[in-house]
Amino acid sequence: MEATTPTTVSKLNIEQIRRDFPLLSRDMNGKPIVFLDSAASSQKPNSVIEAISHYYRFQHANVHRGVYQLSQEATTAFEVARDKVRDFIHAPSSPEIIFVRGVTEGINLVASCFGRKFLKEGDEVLITAMEHHSNIVPWQLICEEKGAHLRVAPINEAGELILEEFEKMLSDKVRIVATTHVSNTLGTINPIREMVAMAHAKGIPVLVDGAQATPHMAIDVQALDVDFYTFSGHKVFGPTGIGVLFGKEKWLNAMPPYHGGGEMIKTVTFEKTTYAELPHKFEAGTPDIAGVIGLGAALDYIQEIGLDAITQYENTLLAYAIKRLKEVPGIRFIGAAKNKASVVSFLVDNIHPYDLGTILDKLGIAVRTGHHCTQPLMDHFCIPGTVRASFAFYNTVEDIDRLVDGVKKAVAMLG
């Protein structure tokens, strides 16, 4: 990857974009903050903050339940946001968009509901070796309950899925594949279209964890032909506590509900309950209305900037960061996939990542340190954790220069 300086190729007005994010103007430990942890949670633009505030100040009422005007206004705003999500991921229909708390709940919903209906003793669930804990533990729970087995497709030393081995593992026992689109630790972009085609050739549905993909690239669930796709609002510059599960209608109709209560019912008697149509079947109780509206505003903001421009800019940031970080003596990159999103994980000599991260914090630089909720992946590389710098379109060359200078200072202090 050629390390072009981002400012020479970007079509984005980075200075204006940074002004849209109020947190980026504050100091940290007496220095202007450099925020390089967007893979954990992205910052929020003013338009998202204002959309949430406007709802609570002028529109708040419960949705889908009131005949009065205020409730109708809130319902309209809520459902308009659902339509925005449909358009953002190119889903066939809005009823296939289920609002959840985030990717973790999206995966738990599918593991529980699909597993209760379709898994039996001796069946298999296939995941990959680079999964986040949220795409491991829910499947372990349902496999233990059903007597099924969790299988793990291997990766190579560059952190790439070994596609031939993945295909070999698609046996007649596999009932579902669950995979990340982009590794939160390595930045590896998995070949989802090819993986789905391989699985579908055996009649196996596929769930994709899109938490780390949706902020960085355009997603078309129809082109990918995925059966389930889930992402979190707080990764795409929206609020925390809200997310999306897309599911093909045939699967959502076949699965039992996840939660019981209000909103997800058609009729209730003490003898029997019939369930509401999609999407309400999976949206029990009062939803996070403000979160949904804020998510809609976040998607508007991304669309205004343009995902193609975002992808191009972040790719050049990534290349520049790798080029500059190579100047650090003793650095070791964890994850060197050819197809990679804007995440860099690294270690330096025998310095513990926590120590390096602590010194960077004192310099006003926020990076993530630790196992990044991918402990099995850390075991694969025989390391306790890494330092992870993750970039968004509001980051700059100057941010990367300060990161590199900070790492060099930390190495001089700790080496």
Which are the catalytic amino acids?
A: 373
Evaluate the CA torsion angle 303, 306, 307, 313 in order and state its sign.
Answer: negative
Q: What is the DSSP letter of 123?
A: -
**Rounded to an integer, what distance in angstroms lies between the CA atom of residue 77 and that of residue 290?**
10
35: left (phi over 0), alpha (psi -120 to 50) or beta: beta
Nearest of 121, 96, 93, 64 to residue 255 by alpha carbon: 96
Write out the E strands in 257-348.
265-268, 273-275, 331-333, 343-348
| Tokens matching residue 16 | 């204006």
**Read out DSSP for 8-70?**
HH--S-HHHHHHH-GGGGSEETTEE-EE-BTTT-----HHHHHHHHHIIIII---SSS--SHH
Q: What is the DSSP letter of 320?
A: H
Cβ neighbours for 288, distance < 8 A, ≥ 6 positions apart: 99, 101, 239, 241, 242
**Rounded to an integer, what distance in angstroms lies between the CA atom of residue 115 and that of residue 146?**
8
Q: What is the DSSP letter of 5?
A: -
